[in-house]
A and B are shown apart, each in its own frame.
Chain A
Amino acid sequence: MTDFADTFPPRGTRSDAEPGDPQPQGIYPPTEEMLNAPVDPAVAKAQENRLRAVWKQPQGWRYWSAVNNSEVGAWYSLTAFAFMLAAGVLALLMRVQLAVPDNDFISADRFNQFFTMHGSAMMFLFAVPMFEAISILLLPAFLGARDMPFPRLSAYGYWSFLIGGIFVLGSVLFDVAPNSGWFMYPPLATEAEGPGSDIWLLGLSFIEVASIAAAVELIVGVIKCRPPGMRINLMPLYAWYVLVVGGMILFAFPPLIAGDFLFEMQRSFDWPFFDPERGGDPMLWQHLFWIFGHPEVYIIFLPSIAIAAMVVPTAARRPITGYSWIVLSAVGTGFLSFGLWVHHMFTTGLPSLSLGFFSAASEAVVIPTGVQLFAFVATLMVGRVKMILPMLWIAGALAIFTAGGLTGIMVAVAPFDWQVHDTYFIVAHLHYTLFGGMIFPIIGGVYYFYPFITKKKMSDRLGRWAFWLMFTGFNLCFLPMHVTGLQGMPRRVFTYPEELGWNALNMVSTIGAFVTAAGVLVFAWDLLRPKSRQPLTERNPWGGGTLEWAHDVPDPGWGARSVPYITSRYPLWDEPELVGRMDAGRFYIPDAPEGKRETIVTSAVDAVPQHVARVTGPAWCTIVAAVFTGGAFIFPTFHWYLPAIVCGVLAIATVLYWLWTSTAQIPEAPMKDAGLGLRLPTYVSGAKAPGWWAVFITMLGDSTAFASLVFGVFFYWTARPDFPPEGADHANLALAALAAAFVAASWGATRIARSQNRRGNVARTRLLLAAAPVLALASAASLVGAVWLPDMDPVSHVYPAMMWALVVWFCAHVLLGVIMQGYCLAGSVFGKLTPRYDADLWNTALFWHFKLVMGLVGIAVIALLPRML
């Protein structure tokens, strides 16, 4: 049945060749005989009690220190839902204002704040966080894992999101909300009075960082935390989508963060990135924003459609048709969606040849997007469909999304877009894609997964009421907007004169908006109404086939009683005895004798067990770190830089405390019995460790942000005749070369320290780790000197400003790298990092690989490139 013989024990890779790495030992895969052997009930009971104690939730006020994915995921999704309701209220107020012509219900400026906050909150505080929330909540269960690989990181992300969200959304109550539209186009947004633009920039940057943290965690979760045996071709489709979307976040969010950085430098320090009078160009912001903004739409859409991919097989009561095709669809959409950004900029006067490329890519993305919808329809056609309530929502979603997709094809054609750009036609189009591609599947998913999350059921009757209210209300609201738009009504106008003939259409839209809101309220009531007197649900109420339905009722908090060995895509359908074996503790890590939270880490493709990872437990340091990080981002909004710096330092200190006390802990024994005759290492470093992957993935995202800055240099060169200006001073060549030499030396010292440490040369390791930060700081000082000496004034022109931006980027990374080197040095001195247990040093060396490449490219762009342009 299985043939793991060629992969176990795992083939030696380069990192395995290092001496001292413990290898998995024993039997894998388990034989049928072993799986059939009964577990002594007394032993099982004792194991169960130990596990229960380890995974017990903190009680009372300490509940808020919980980091378990089921708690954090629930808070996260409820918070995102609350922000959604708030943004929905803004929409209703706008619809009241637009119901009749010449209305003065709200003022023009307040209307501007409302549409800006409606868009920003729906995108940044609801749609993307909702994906992260639901994935944190569900992913470990899909994978039969105990928890996410980095629970405290999820909690930190959540608290950051909560603080940032309240800050950004709260501004609307004080009449200081951003008011330049959710895409913040300069010069309107750069010149805007008051702190609105800064609130948007800093508040949302803060949340973007939290999003990237979640993406890192989810990718590592999918790659490394699958149960033994769940090869890549057996993975639940939801995990495929999470993997793709996580990858997309890494390439989509960093350009916006880079853009935010430039934007805030202009707002705070008058560096003229978007000011044409000093060589800047507002178009750069549009590019960076939409390189983020368009993939963002698919980042929202794909995880929601992933829920459909879980519901459809259950409703059709058969495996999904065309698994490979859906993988093609998810991956293909993930790629192609990055080639669409300029279709938001068709009216900005780019060469029509360039417009053509983006128009063509926008048409091409329909192919992978459509494939998955056909795969769902095919599954339903060949299955025996039971029209469960979640399926009703999915069906409504497919109908609405298809309509939105069709108008999408229309607006992807540049000449048509020129006609309807910035009209209500676009408003209709985007709401069709987002309601069909996000709201409806998510609500369907809530109905579907609610029994899994709370072990209670929602009401079928209320669910149908909510569906039909929302479905009719939505179409009543947005279908007429296509016509309103074609009749010429522009977006974002706060009112319109009576004689233009838009009155009836707008009134219908307003009525539709309130019908939709009634549906949302019915859903919200059904979601939140007290259910304490309601009986618990049965274990698998819909008859699903994937692992989340193996969870016990009531929820014992441990996720999986024992981590199963998986041999099929729908284990609950194909192996009737699986749940019984999981419950009996027949599978892996059924016990917690050391009193530690653990989960199994497996290889990326074939899910061969590699490691028993200790995961972190409840903590307050995540909240403290989030509060200080919030301070570091929020104080600059009011130009209070000193408190911001203090908060930043304290945030770093808290994170260091958190890492030092709970990550890469030296285990009590190098190996442990994982059950079923398998012994696994309790500590791994390098490419087998989840932490190494997290650094790798984070640095990929970081490199994207850096690449966006370099793109900015090339952009100015092609778009502006005076970049660099005639006779401008360039960076000092000798000092730049010195900076390159120092950064390379610091990298070399770190890398050699890693291998010296492995060989047991602890003294030499410490020497190298002490020298490396000095070299790194010297490189930063040299590079600052290289732009300081020629007196390149960043306020005078965009060319020196851009060079300074690259230097700031370089120095910020040097600081980070120095902290990491210092952390390893301290680890070596205080016995946290030994020749055997060296994960931190591997991760630091990995960071420095990226830093070296980025540093050298950056220095070349600063010192060499402008001389050649």
Chain B
Amino acid sequence: MLGHRHSSLWHMILAPTVWAVHFCVLYGWTAVQCARAGGPDAARTGVLVATAVALVAIVVLGWKAWKQWDYLDDFDYVHDQPTTEHRREFLGHAGWLLAIVSAIGVGFNALPAIFIRSCL
């Protein structure tokens, strides 16, 4: 359904989708642990595990996007030609940039679990 990543908008937004899932997991997990079970330590551990998983996923997606962008091939970063190559490289470039933003976002979201030790 997603199509080939060279011509797929869905692949471009996979990294931010990982961010979104990670965010929901953090919110849901913390809410459940703080309200129903576990407590702060379980909440924080879960956050860090989810973050590790999300970061690995984003690094893999980012690496694939980087390969698709193929920057070191011709050092092209404009992608404004009406060719299959430019469309592929554009989607790769945008996907790679989105992976970076998503990684930063995931990292940011994990920080509270490092600094805050209570559910209050």
Contact = CB atoms under 8 A, between A and B. Distances in A.
Interface of A: 1-4, 6-7, 229, 231-234, 319, 323-325, 327-328, 331-332, 335-336, 338-339, 351-357, 359-361, 363-364, 367-368, 566-569, 604-606, 714, 717-719
A361 B23 contact: yes
Contacts of A232: 9, 87, 90-91
A361 B108 contact: yes
A356 B82 contact: no
A339 B109 contact: yes
Nearest to B69: A324
A361 B40 CA distance: 20
A364 B111 CA distance: 12
Contacts of B80: 233-234, 319, 323, 568-569
Contact of A231 (B32, B87, B102, B105): B87
B23 A357 contact: yes
B36 A718 contact: yes
Given A232-B91, A364-B105, 15 more contacts: A231-B86, A233-B80, A324-B77, A328-B94, A331-B16, A331-B94, A332-B102, A335-B13, A335-B17, A339-B109, A352-B118, A352-B120, A357-B27, A605-B8, A605-B87
Given A328-B94, A352-B116, A368-B101, A1 B111 contact: no
B2 to A, nearest CB: 12
A229 B83 CA distance: 9
Contacts of A356: 111-113, 115-116
B97 interface: yes
Contacts of A328: 94, 97-98, 101
23 contacts: A4-B84, A233-B86, A319-B80, A324-B77, A324-B94, A336-B16, A336-B19, A336-B105, A339-B19, A339-B105, A353-B30, A354-B27, A354-B30, A354-B31, A356-B115, A357-B26, A357-B109, A363-B108, A364-B101, A364-B109, A367-B101, A567-B82, A718-B35
Given A2-B83, A233-B90, A323-B78, A353 B101 contact: no
Contacts of A353: 30, 34, 40, 43-44, 112-113, 116, 118-119
Nearest to A5: B84
What's the interface size class on B, roughly? 35 or more
Contacts of A352: 112, 116, 118-120
Contacts of B16: 331-332, 335-336
Interface string B1-37: 0000001110011001101100100111011101110
Interface in B42-58: 43-44
B78 A3 contact: no
CB-CB nearest 5 A-B residue pairs: A356-B112, A233-B90, A328-B97, A335-B16, A360-B108
Contact of B20 (A233, A335, A605): A335
Given A352-B118, A718-B31, A231 B82 contact: yes
Given A357-B112, A364-B104, A364-B108, A351 B119 contact: yes
Contacts of A339: 19-20, 23, 105, 109
Contacts of B82: 1-2, 229, 231, 234, 566-568
A719 B36 CA distance: 9
Given A323-B80, A324-B77, A368-B101, A606 B30 contact: no
Nearest to B20: A335
A339 B43 CA distance: 19
A364 B112 CA distance: 13
Contacts of A718: 31-32, 35-36
Nearest to B34: A351
Interface of B: 7-9, 12-13, 16-17, 19-20, 23, 26-28, 30-32, 34-36, 40, 43-44, 77-80, 82-87, 90-91, 93-94, 97-98, 101-102, 104-105, 108-109, 111-113, 115-116, 118-120
A360 B118 CA distance: 17
Nearest to B44: A353
Nearest to B120: A352
Contacts of A717: 36
Contacts of A568: 80, 82
Q: Dominant SS at the B interface?
A: helix
Contacts, number: 145
B10 to A, nearest CB: 10
Nearest to A328: B97
A6 B84 contact: yes
A231 B104 CA distance: 30
Q: In this complex, which of A364, A367, A717, A719 has the most chain B Cβ atoms within 10 angstroms of its Cβ? A: A364
Nearest to B7: A605
Contact of B109 (A331, A360, A604): A360
B12 to A, nearest CB: 7
A624 B17 CA distance: 41
Nearest to B12: A331
A353 B98 CA distance: 26
Nearest to B77: A324
A859 to B, nearest CB: 22
A1 B84 CA distance: 10
A269 to B, nearest CB: 29
B7 A606 contact: yes
A568 B19 CA distance: 33
Given A7-B84, A232-B87, A714 B30 contact: no
A326 to B, nearest CB: 10
B23 A233 contact: no
Q: In this complex, which of B12, B17, B32, B90 has the most chain A Cβ atoms within 10 angstroms of its Cβ? A: B90
Contact of A351 (B28, B90, B104, B120): B120
Nearest to B112: A356
Contacts of A323: 78-80, 90
Contacts of B13: 331, 335
A3 to B, nearest CB: 5
B98 A331 contact: yes
A324 B93 contact: yes
Nearest to A352: B116
A604 B87 CA distance: 12
Contacts of B27: 354, 357
B46 to A, nearest CB: 11
B19 to A, nearest CB: 6
A338 B30 CA distance: 18
A332 B118 CA distance: 31
Contact of B97 (A3, A324, A364): A324
A360 B94 contact: no
Contact of A3 (B17, B26, B83): B83
Nearest to B116: A353
A722 to B, nearest CB: 13
B66 to A, nearest CB: 13
Q: In this complex, which of A4, A7, A339, A359 has the most chain B Cβ atoms within 10 angstroms of its Cβ? A: A339
A323 B93 CA distance: 10
A868 to B, nearest CB: 13
A4 B85 CA distance: 11
A96 B68 CA distance: 60
A203 B81 CA distance: 47
A606 B8 CA distance: 10
Nearest to B13: A331
Contacts of B34: 351, 353-354
A773 B118 CA distance: 54
Q: In this complex, which of A353, A364, A606, A718 has the most chain B Cβ atoms within 10 angstroms of its Cβ? A: A353
B97 A325 contact: yes
Contact of B91 (A233, A234, A367, A714): A233
A352 B80 CA distance: 47
Contacts of A3: 83-85
Given A324-B90, A335-B16, A351-B34, A233 B109 contact: no
Contacts of B31: 351, 354, 718
Contacts of A229: 82
B19 A714 contact: no
A324 B120 contact: no
Contacts of A4: 84
Contacts of A319: 80
Nearest to A368: B101
